[in-house]
């Protein structure tokens, strides 16, 4: 592995860690109806677990209600079961045609609890980024031995690894602050 490829791989891994963090943030409730919260919901459809959003049209009504209209009305009961099992913290209401998920306003205590979840996701992401930094430093040591790199080159690259790490940690902090602000906004 070359220095260039080491940095390329490290950057890609850190980008993936940030991408995973964004995915986790999508599934965190903020008090507003967000169809992306249903991405992990799987419905038994003719014996095959199928993503809910493939089986139905999902729309937001008045900012606090998700309306789920299955394309195949025979699957409505299965959709209800899947939503109840998904543990979204919301009880599905069905009128026989569509299922409604009404997002109640979040209490102050619930908002604080959600902020703790946001901080935990952020901290997990930072740990992943630091582990990638460690892997890059280990790779640099291997390169130092195998290619007889000078101390100056090693030191410069260690600084470069730290700068890349700092950049991604700042991105994760900024994303967490943004999500916390969204959660705390009434």
The predicted pLDDT at position 68 comes to 92
Q: HEC states along the chain?
A: CCHHHHHHHHHHHHHHHHHHHHHHHHCCCCCCCCHHHHCCCEEEECCEEEEHHHHEEEEEECCCEEEEEECCHHHHHHHHHHHHHCCCCCCEEECCCCEEEECCCCCHHHHHHHHHHHHHHHHHHHHHHHHHHHHHHHHHHHHHHHHCCCHHHHHHHHHHHHHHHHHHHHHHHHHHHHHHHHHHCC
The predicted pLDDT at position 186 comes to 67
The predicted pLDDT at position 8 comes to 94
The predicted pLDDT at position 34 comes to 81
Instruction: List the chain residues with pLDDT less than 70.
Output: 186
Q: What is the set of domains in the chain, with CATH numbers?
A: 3-27+107-184 (1.10.132.20), 35-102 (3.30.1360.40)
pLDDT in tens, 70-93: 998 889 899 988 988 887 778 888
């Amino acid at each position: 592995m070359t220095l260039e490829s080491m940095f390329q791989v490290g950057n890609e891994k850190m980008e993936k860690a940030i991408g995973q963090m964004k995915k986790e943030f999508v599934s965190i409730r903020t008090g507003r109806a967000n169809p992306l919260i249903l991405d992990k919901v799987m419905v038994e459809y003719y014996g095959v677990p199928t993503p809910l959003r493939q089986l139905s049209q999902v729309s937001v009504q008045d900012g606090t209600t998700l309306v789920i209209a299955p394309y195949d009305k025979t699957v409505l009961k299965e959709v209800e079961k899947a939503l109840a099992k998904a543990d979204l913290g919301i009880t599905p209401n069905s009128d026989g045609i569509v299922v409604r998920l009404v997002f109640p306003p979040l209490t102050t205590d619930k908002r604080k609890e959600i902020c703790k979840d946001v901080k935990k996701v952020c901290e997990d992401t930072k740990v992943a980024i630091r582990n990638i930094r460690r892997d890059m430093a280990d790779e640099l040591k291997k390169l130092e031995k195998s290619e007889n790199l000078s101390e100056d080159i090693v030191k410069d690259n260690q600084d470069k690894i730290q700068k890349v790490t700092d950049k991604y940690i700042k991105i994760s902090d900024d994303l967490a602050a943004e999500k916390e602000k969204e959660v705390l906004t009434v």
